[in-house]
């Protein structure tokens, strides 16, 4: 299986699907049967017209910190947001999405996940972090888990991500072997999502060379793709961490590490290892950061380190509650992550609710950070800022890439309209996400995934999951 050239076959498939579905793509004036809504290129325009509420996340574009606009339009031209405002006219060749009664907002940035882990859903559900890792993840480093298995799990998870309105995903791949990493990457490319592939860099010259090749041949030519180098901080493996950090510097990309996720992690000397490896610097992405002291938070803030908060994972794995107000007070860049199979599903609305609810439950303070408005920002622009991608995505700012979602609040779980900003957090569900655009392309259209053979994906994921238990001895319940 080769890695290069995947984007071209995908476009052919998408084009074919679009040719069949062409006349069903949009509603409203000047509808045409051209397939170009999905396989757009130069100059294609999509007008999202008459949205009851647009959360631009840009205070310069709309009112208040979330940049709200009422009865407004968003114009996509090619892969970018051309204009946001009221009364935008359709000029020239254009498609119209009727957004009356709908909410338009940036797509979610899932700042931390392991997409292959859909294959171990239901595994080790009575375990804390280290028991779960020992039962469900660590054995796979000694297994021949294949490229096809990786593809099947990641393909399933990317569809789940699109369903919930994610437009950018950071996939920390354990890269059990080079074939696994290639299958993982192929599924990411086929998804149409904007993605950051965090390639776990085991200290092996062959792995390092493969990461260099992937960067050069796969990531760099793809405008939707970015690379990070994944590693793990501990004093026992500080040389490996330093080598991974050196590779990240060589390639000009960020390092991505799990940090202070569980109480037991403190015994690993993780902060000391990061210091000794010289890895504490702007761009470092630290996942979790649950068990950090005031002094360590000061240090991370001073070094410009971003943190991915994963509340559903922390709940499931009995990991603790991250100190979000203390991080926010120090202006640490904060985003939200789903953290893979530990969450059992990809639901960014549920993740936002958990982020808000955990702080309230711990403190008895309903106004404690994050508020619903805060968590909406964290789940979109906050994640983009932690990645250094806020110049490209995370808000509906003209000139940024066309990454957005359209939400239908006229549903039994969401209506009636009282306070839509709060309702997005407390009532939103993936089923309410009607459209998802990435880079100006529709990946979800009128509530349906575009160009995905869901039954085939489910079947292949089941086949892959059925092959894993022989490596995960005793980890799975008989049910
Ligand atoms: Zn993780």
State yes or no: pLDDT of 13 exceeds 80: no
114 C-alpha to ligand 1 centroid (Å) = 6
How far does residue 340's CA lie from ligand 1's centre (Å)? 7
Q: Given the structure tokens 């050069």, which residue do they identify?
A: 216
What secondary structure does DSSP assign to 351-399, as a single string?
HHHHHHHHHHHHHS-TTPSPPHHHHHHIIIIIHHHHHT-TTTSSS--TT
**CA of residue 453 to ligand 1 center, whole Å:** 28
Q: In 10 A of CB 88, how many CB atoms? A: 18
How many A from CA of 354 to the centre of ligand 1? Answer: 17
Tell me if residue 53 falls in helix, strand or coil: strand
Q: Which token pair is 72?
A: 């407004």
- Provide the pLDDT confidence category of residue 90 given band limits of 50, 70 and 90: low
The length of the chain is 479
Identify whether the C-beta of residue 403 lies closer than 8 Å to the C-beta of residue 393.
yes
Tens digits of residue pLDDT in 116-147? 999 999 999 999 999 999 999 999 988 889 99
What is the band of 470 on the pLDDT scale with cuts at 50, 70, 90? confident
Which of 27-36, 196-205, 369-378 has the weakest average pLDDT? 27-36
**Angstrom distance (rounded) from CA 289 to CA 334:** 11
> Which tokens sit at 45?
């325009």
Task: Report d(CA 224, CA 216) in Å as an integer.
Answer: 14
pTM of the full structure? 0.91
Q: Which 8-state DSSP code applies to residue 63?
A: B
128 alpha carbon – ligand 1 mean position (Å): 13
Q: How far is the CA of 88 from the centre of ligand 1 (A)?
A: 43
| Chain-centre distance for alpha carbon 409 | 23
Centre of ligand 1 from the C-alpha of residue 269, in Å: 18
* Sign of the torsion formed by the C-alpha atoms of 12, 407, 370 and 266: negative
* CA count, 13 A, side-chain hemisphere, 317: 28
3-state secondary structure of 310: coil
Q: How many angstroms separate the alpha carbon of residue 332 from the centre of ligand 1?
A: 19
Question: What is the whole-number distance in angstroms between the Cα of residue 121 and the centre of ligand 1?
Answer: 14
Distance 219 CA to ligand 1 centre (A): 22
- Give dist(CA 266, CA 68) in Å, integer: 42
Distance 257 CA to ligand 1 centre (A): 9
> If you average pLDDT over every residue of the chain, what do you get?
90
| Secondary element (H or E) of residue 202 | none
Contacts 24+ apart (CB under 8 A), 205-214: 206/178, 207/175, 207/178, 208/243, 208/247, 210/178, 210/181, 211/247, 211/251, 212/247, 212/251, 214/3, 214/181, 214/185
pLDDT for res 472: 79
Average pLDDT of span 92-120: 94
Burial of 126 (0-12, 13-18, 19+ CB in 10 A): exposed
Query: Does residue 430 contact residue 349 with C-beta atoms inside 8 Å?
Result: yes
Six token digits for residue 115: 């997409």
Residue 326, CA atoms < 13 Å, CB-side half-sphere? 16
Q: How many CB atoms lie within 10 A of CB 125?
A: 14
Q: What is the mean pLDDT of residues 43-54?
A: 92
The Å distance, Cα 71 to ligand 1 centre, comes to 39
Q: Which two tokens stand for residue 232?
A: 């793990």
Task: Measure CA of the first residue to CA of the last residue in the chain; give whole Å.
Answer: 35
User: How close is the Cα of 210 to the center of ligand 1, in Å?
Assistant: 22
- Cα(186) to ligand 1 centroid in Å equals 21
Over residues 406-435, mean pLDDT = 98
Judged on CB neighbours under 10 Å (0-12, 13-18, 19+), 422 is middle
Residue range 257-268: average pLDDT?
A: 96
Q: Give the Å distance between the CA of 206 and the centre of ligand 1.
A: 24
CA of 313 to the centre of ligand 1 (A): 8
Question: How far away, in angstroms, is 303 Cα from ligand 1 center?
Answer: 22
Q: If you measure from the C-alpha of residue 266 to the centroid of ligand 1, how many angstroms do you get, rounded to a whole number?
A: 16
Q: H or E stretch including 282?
A: none
Q: Give me the mean pLDDT over the 150-156 stretch.
A: 97
Say what the pLDDT of residue 406 is. Answer: 98
Query: What distances in angstroms separate CA 319 from CA 257, 259, 264, 340, 460, one per listed residue?
Result: 16, 12, 9, 15, 32
Q: Tell me: pLDDT of 70 over 60.
A: yes
């Amino acid at each position: 299986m080769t890695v290069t050239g995947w984007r071209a076959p995908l476009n052919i498939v998408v084009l074919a699907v679009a040719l069949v579905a062409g006349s069903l793509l949009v509603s409203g004036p000047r509808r045409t049967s051209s397939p170009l809504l999905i396989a757009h290129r130069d100059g294609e325009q999509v007008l999202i017209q008459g949205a009851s509420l647009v959360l631009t996340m840009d205070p310069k574009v709309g009112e208040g910190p979330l940049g709200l606009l009422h009865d407004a339009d968003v114009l996509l031209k090619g892969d970018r947001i051309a204009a946001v405002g009221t009364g935008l006219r359709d000029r020239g060749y254009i498609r119209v999405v009727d957004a009356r009664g709908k909410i338009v907002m940036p797509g979610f940035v899932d700042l931390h996940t392991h997409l292959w882990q859909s294959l171990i859903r239901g595994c080790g559900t009575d375990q804390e972090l280290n028991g779960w890792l020992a039962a469900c993840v660590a054995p796979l480093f000694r297994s021949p888990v294949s490229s096809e298995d990786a593809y099947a799990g990641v393909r399933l998870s990317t569809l789940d991500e699109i369903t919930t309105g994610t437009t950018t995903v950071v996939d920390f791949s354990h890269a059990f072997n080079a074939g696994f990493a290639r299958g993982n990457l192929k599924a990411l490319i086929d998804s149409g999502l904007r993605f950051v592939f965090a390639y776990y860099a085991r200290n092996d010259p062959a792995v390092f060379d493969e990461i260099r090749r992937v960067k050069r041949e796969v990531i760099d030519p793809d405008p939707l793709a970015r690379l990070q180098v994944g590693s793990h901080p501990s004093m026992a493996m500080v040389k490996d961490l330093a080598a991974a950090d050196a590779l990240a510097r060589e390639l000009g990309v960020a390092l991505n590490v799990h940090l202070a996720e569980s109480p037991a992690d403190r015994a690993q000397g993780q902060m000391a290892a990061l210091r000794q490896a010289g890895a504490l610097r702007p761009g470092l992405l630290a996942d979790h950061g649950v068990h950090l002291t005031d002094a360590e938070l000061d240090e991370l803030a001073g070094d410009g380190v971003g943190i991915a908060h994963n509340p559903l994972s922390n709940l499931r794995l009995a990991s603790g509650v991250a100190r979000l107000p203390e991080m926010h007070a120090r202006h640490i860049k904060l985003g939200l992550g789903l953290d893979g199979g530990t969450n059992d599903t990809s639901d960014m609305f549920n993740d936002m609710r958990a982020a808000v609810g955990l702080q309230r439950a711990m403190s008895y303070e309903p106004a404690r950070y994050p508020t619903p408005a805060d968590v909406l920002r964290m789940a979109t622009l906050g994640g983009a800022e932690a990645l250094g991608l806020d110049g490209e995505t995370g808000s509906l700012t003209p000139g940024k890439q066309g990454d957005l979602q359209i939400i239908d609040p006229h549903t039994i779980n969401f209506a009636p309209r009282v306070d839509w900003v709060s309702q997005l957090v407390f009532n939103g569900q993936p089923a309410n996400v009607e459209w998802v655009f990435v880079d100006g392309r529709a990946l979800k259209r009128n509530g349906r995934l575009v160009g995905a053979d869901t039954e085939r994906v489910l079947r292949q994921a089941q086949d892959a999951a059925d092959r894993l238990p022989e490596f995960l001895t005793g980890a799975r319940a008989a049910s």
